[in-house]
């Protein structure tokens, strides 16, 4: 009987600042956290890394990357001066296809995407640069439907969990998302990077404290209020997707790093779940 | 001293369905047609642009969303494959365009001088967004006129509609000064739909026009109200109701292109010509022309 497992789960940031060679204290803290996460992923020897990215925005339901080998060069539309992001990914198309079918059977609109030249998003590529730097592990990538609420995001995560279970594979699941989402809207000296609002920092810490206590269900309950108060990245629905994959456990998350990026909140959080999907 | 001028402005919606329906060689997917009323409307614009022989077409696109200020394409030649991240099954377009970098520099300088945050996009590997490409293809499929692409700053969403619109008025003023100083004969394009609520499921045959209807009648009524004001040249009233229009119909003009264009044209009182209106997956789209060569009424 298929018996896939989720070895580890992560929340990671996906802004291109983290790949830029710019010496900013908070960015360096986050880079260290991402590298640490990458080391742990490598040690877990997963068969696949599944990424849900808030920067892959979809409108007609939820999209799943199923091109077996997307190749190209990505340039961020905002911070193009921070350099190019070349990519040459090995995609587990079967897992994406199956997850899309399950999600569809659960009532979600889904699409699989298999097109030469399809634009991968900055978040996915930044996350994978740290979590899969040698590009040795196949990946699956899921979009962020801008119209999806928490319930749909949980369902989308459950669909992926079922697909992993059926695949008999060992997976690492990754929600690539920011926390508070208020950017500085003017040019700032990166060395002075800080939270755009002090209240955003307070909210982020409150959420991360709950995660560190394993109160993941409480985070879900607070997500709407958090989104309203701190203008969270896509309503923090990436966290709901992650909880969908994990079944909202009481497992504590370990905060590997936390800090501002261009005014927004970013954290690297690790769940050592090793649960059967 | 150079004395450039704006020849015309176009409301130039960018659903990729219009390119798909036309089947140009540059686009890989094939269709059996569809959305003819909008495509034929664009054909009228193409004829006029060909006759004018402008030096440049400037396009403001909501699908190049920028956080820090207003950005201008500033690479002399851009080429690539644009695959629409939302509609990849109908838009995979090979683009190649010449950018008016002197005008980009001038717009940048004028925008900074008026107090706006501005940037020049100088990365040659940058992928041009599909909003820019679709509007430009529909206006000039031969791509034989230089262009200048302008990003949509997110200020209406970060702050408020009012602040966003104020910025676009300034950007329009900066643009017209830059055009005047560089001596360009320019055409402007606001790459926007009108009402923007839409369906999230597509018919099996994408171009099945039997399935193509407005999302709801309220959206249609609002679109007609806005278009009627354009037709009458009642620009003051148009600007007055735009914020409510944006709120009630999630209108894409919130991203600023229309206000930028009207501001650059000096909020003209000439009657605009509505070349065509139709829906695309439920959104309201109109091809509208303000011909400044005809003089004021």
Can you give the three-state secondary structure of A208-256, one letter per residue?
HHHHHCCCHHHHHHHHHHHHHHHCCHHHHHHHHHHHHHHCCCCCCCEEE
- Asked if residues A169 and A96 have their Cβ atoms less than 8 Å apart, the reply is no
Pairwise CA distance, residues B26 & B20, whole Å: 10
Give the pLDDT of residue A28.
Answer: 97
Which run of H or of E encompasses B97?
A: strand B92-98
Instruction: Say whether pLDDT at B215 is over 80.
Output: yes
Instruction: Say whether pLDDT at A118 is over 70.
Output: yes
- Asked if residues B73 and B128 have their Cβ atoms less than 8 Å apart, the reply is yes
pLDDT tens column, B232-271:
999 999 999 999 999 999 988 888 999 999 999 999 999 9
Domain that holds residue B240: 5-294
Pairwise CA distance, residues A173 & A161, whole Å: 9
Question: By the CB < 8 Å criterion, does B117 face chain A?
Answer: yes
Phi and psi for B260 in degrees, rounded to 5?
Answer: -55, -50
For chain A, list residues whose CB is within 8 angstroms of any CB belonging to chain B: 56-61, 73-75, 77-78, 80-81, 84, 109, 113, 115-119, 147, 182-187, 262
Specify the CATH number for the domain of residue A112: 3.40.830.10
**Confidence band for B296, pLDDT divided at 50, 70 and 90:** very low
Q: Which residue spans within chain A are E strands per DSSP?
A: 5-12, 48-58, 62-65, 71-74, 85-88, 110-113, 139-145, 170-176, 254-261, 264-271, 275-276
**Confidence band for B159, pLDDT divided at 50, 70 and 90:** confident
- Asked if residues B268 and B294 have their Cβ atoms less than 8 Å apart, the reply is no
Residue A62: CB atoms within 10 A of its CB come to: 25
Specify the CATH number for the domain of residue B150: 3.40.830.10
Domain that holds residue A189: 5-276
**How many domains does one find in chain A?**
1
Phi and psi for B214 in degrees, rounded to 5?
Answer: -60, 150
Tokens of B168: 């676009």
Give the pLDDT of residue A277.
Answer: 46
Instruction: Say whether pLDDT at B160 is over 90.
Output: no
Give the pLDDT of residue A3.
Answer: 86
**How many domains does one find in chain B?**
1
Question: By the CB < 8 Å criterion, does B158 face chain A?
Answer: yes
- Asked if residues A27 and A263 have their Cβ atoms less than 8 Å apart, the reply is no
Tokens of A91: 């995609």
Residue B265: CB atoms within 10 A of its CB come to: 19
Tokens of B2: 């150079």
Contacts of B85 in chain A (CB under 8 A): 56-58, 118-119
Contact A117 B202 (CB under 8 A): no
Instruction: Say whether pLDDT at A46 is over 90.
Output: yes
Output the CA–CA distances (angstroms, integers) from residue B53 to B50, B86, B183, B270, in the order listed: 5, 34, 14, 22
pLDDT tens column, A121-166:
999 999 999 999 999 999 999 999 999 999 999 999 999 999 999 9
Q: Name the CA radius of gyration of chain B, rounded.
A: 18
Contact A77 B129 (CB under 8 A): yes
State the helix-helix crossing angle for B235-249 and B257-264, rounded to 10 degrees: 170
Residue B59: CB atoms within 10 A of its CB come to: 27
Pairwise CA distance, residues B274 & B277, whole Å: 8
Contacts of A262 in chain B (CB under 8 A): 67
Give the pLDDT of residue B201.
Answer: 86
Q: Which residue has the tokens 């997307």?
A: A70
pLDDT tens column, B137-155:
999 999 999 999 999 998 7
- Asked if residues A10 and A271 have their Cβ atoms less than 8 Å apart, the reply is yes
Of B164, B222, B234, B154, nearest in space to B194 by CA: B222
- Chain-centroid distance of CA B164 in Å reads 17
Of B223, B252, B112, B230, nearest in space to B177 by CA: B112
State the helix-helix crossing angle for B217-232 and B235-249, rounded to 10 degrees: 160
Give the pLDDT of residue A1.
Answer: 65
């Amino acid at each position: 009987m298929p018996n896939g497992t989720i070895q580890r789960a992560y929340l990671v940031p996906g802004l291109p600042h983290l790949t830029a060679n710019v010496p900013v204290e908070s960015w360096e803290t986050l880079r260290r956290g991402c590298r640490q996460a990458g080391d742990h992923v490598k040690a877990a020897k997963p068969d696949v890394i599944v990424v849900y990215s808030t920067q892959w925005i979809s409108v007609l339901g939820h999209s799943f990357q199923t091109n077996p080998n997307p190749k190209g060069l990505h340039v961020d539309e905002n911070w193009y001066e921070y350099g190019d992001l070349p990519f040459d990914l090995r995609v587990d198309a079967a897992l994406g296809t199956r997850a899309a079918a399950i999600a569809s059977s659960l009532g979600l609109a889904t699409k699989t995407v298999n097109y030469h030249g399809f634009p991968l998003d900055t978040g996915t590529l930044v996350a994978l640069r740290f979590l899969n730097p040698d590009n040795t592990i196949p990946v699956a990538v899921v979009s962020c439907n801008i119209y999806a609420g928490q319930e749909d995001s949980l369902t989308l995560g459950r669909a992926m969990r079922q697909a992993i279970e059926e695949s008999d594979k060992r997976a690492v699941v990754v929600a690539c998302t920011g926390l508070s989402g208020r950017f500085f809207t003017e040019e700032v000296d990166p060395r002075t990077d800080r939270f755009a609002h002090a209240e955003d920092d307070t909210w982020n810490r409150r959420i991360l404290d709950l995660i560190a206590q394993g109160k993941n269900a409480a985070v879900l309950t607070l997500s709407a209020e958090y989104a309203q108060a701190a203008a969270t990245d896509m309503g923090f629905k990436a966290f709901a997707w992650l909880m969908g994959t994990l079944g909202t456990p009481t497992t504590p998350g370990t905060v590997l790093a936390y800090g501002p990026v261009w005014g927004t909140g970013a954290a690297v959080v690790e769940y050592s779940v090793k649960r059967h999907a | 001293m150079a004395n450039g001028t704006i020849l015309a402005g176009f409301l130039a919606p960018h659903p990729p369905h219009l390119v798909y329906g036309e089947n140009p060689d540059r686009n890989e997917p094939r269709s059996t047609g569809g959305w003819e009323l909008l495509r034929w409307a664009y054909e009228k614009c193409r004829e006029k642009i060909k006759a004018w022989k402008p030096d440049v077409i400037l396009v403001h696109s909501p699908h190049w969303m920028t956080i820090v200020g207003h950005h201008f394409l500033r690479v002399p030649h851009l080429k690539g494959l644009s695959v629409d991240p939302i509609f990849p099954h109908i838009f995979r377009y090979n683009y190649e365009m010449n950018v008016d970098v002197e005008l980009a520099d001038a717009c940048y300088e004028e925008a900074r001088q008026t107090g706006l945050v501005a940037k020049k996009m100088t990365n040659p590997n940058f992928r041009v967004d599909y909003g820019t490409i679709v509007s430009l293809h529909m206006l000039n499929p031969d791509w034989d006129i230089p262009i200048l692409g302008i990003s949509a700053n997110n200020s209406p969403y970060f702050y408020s509609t009012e602040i966003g619109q104020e910025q676009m008025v300034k950007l329009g003023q900066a643009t017209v000064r830059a055009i005047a100083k560089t001596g360009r004969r320019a055409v402007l394009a606001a790459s926007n739909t009108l009402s923007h609520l839409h369906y999230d499921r597509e018919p099996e045959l994408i171009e099945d026009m039997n399935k193509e209807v407005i999302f709801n009648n309220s959206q249609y009524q609002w679109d007609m109200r806005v278009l009627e004001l354009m037709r009458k040249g009642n620009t003051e009233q148009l600007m007055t109701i735009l914020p409510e229009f944006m709120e009630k119909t999630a209108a894409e003009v919130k991203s600023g292109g229309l206000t930028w264009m009207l501001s650059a044209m000096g909020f003209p009182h000439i009657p605009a010509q509505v070349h065509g209106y139709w829906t695309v997956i439920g959104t309201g789209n109109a091809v509208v022309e303000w011909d400044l060569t005809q003089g004021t009424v």
